[in-house]
Amino acid sequence: MREDAKDAVTIAFFELWRKRATVRLVDGSPLPWLLNTVSNTARNLERSGRRYRALIARAPRPEPVPDLSGSDESGVLAALRRLPAREQSVVILTVLEGYPERETAQTLGIPVGTVKSRLARARAKLRDEMTVLEAS
């Protein structure tokens, strides 16, 4: 509520500056114009907030994400967690989420070749760990 009041006052002063040539002064003061503008702006902010809350209330609830911290009988999650963070992010985006390498590169802000090399290194490490797990 307090933030809405600050926003309303800020918007009113911006509007005063923007419309400075056409604002009607009363006894040389823009105060009446500012009071009306702040009042109208506060009402508009409240109305838009109500609409936003109603929209959020109508939005479908996201499905609960399964807890991945449970037991990992295959050891794959543990092996994935042992990878360096930069390799983990590439594996998660390309393998688990199914993004193409080009989109993964754009998302992470790295070249496509770097995505390919990190993915190859990660796969090799995971393959080695899985081989060790299967042998034991």
| pLDDT tens per residue, range 56-71 | 888 777 666 555 555 5
Cα-based distances in Å from 7 to 2, 52, 53, 113: 9, 17, 18, 46
Q: For residues 89 and 128, state if they share a domain.
A: yes
Q: Name the nearest CA neighbour of 72 among 132, 133, 136.
A: 133
The predicted-structure confidence for 110-126, as pLDDT tens digits, reads as follows: 999 999 999 999 999 99
Domain membership flag for residue 125: yes
Domain membership flag for residue 94: yes
User: What is the extent of the structural domain holding 88?
Assistant: 76-135
Domain membership flag for residue 69: no
Whether pLDDT at 4 is above 60 = yes
Domain membership flag for residue 63: no
Buried b (16+ CB within 10 A) or exposed e, 52-86: eeeeeeeeeeeeeeeeeeeeeeeeeeebbeebeee
Mean pLDDT of the chain: 87
Domain membership flag for residue 44: yes
Q: For residues 8 and 34, state if they share a domain.
A: yes
Domain membership flag for residue 11: yes
Domain membership flag for residue 68: no
Reading the block at residue 39, the tokens are: 């009042």
For residue 78, the one-letter residue type is A
Whether pLDDT at 1 is above 80 = no
Domain membership flag for residue 12: yes
Q: For residues 51 and 82, state if they share a domain.
A: no
Number of domains in the chain: 2
CATH number at residue 105: 1.10.10.10
CA 21 – CA 76 distance, rounded (Å): 68
What's this model's pTM, rounded to 2 decimal places? Answer: 0.47
Cα-based distances in Å from 57 to 11, 64, 79, 131: 28, 17, 40, 49
Q: For residues 82 and 131, state if they share a domain.
A: yes
The predicted-structure confidence for 33-56, as pLDDT tens digits, reads as follows: 999 999 999 999 999 999 988 888
Counts of helices then strands in the chain (DSSP H, E): 6, 0
Q: For residues 36 and 83, state if they share a domain.
A: no
CA 105 – CA 114 distance, rounded (Å): 8
Q: For residues 96 and 123, state if they share a domain.
A: yes
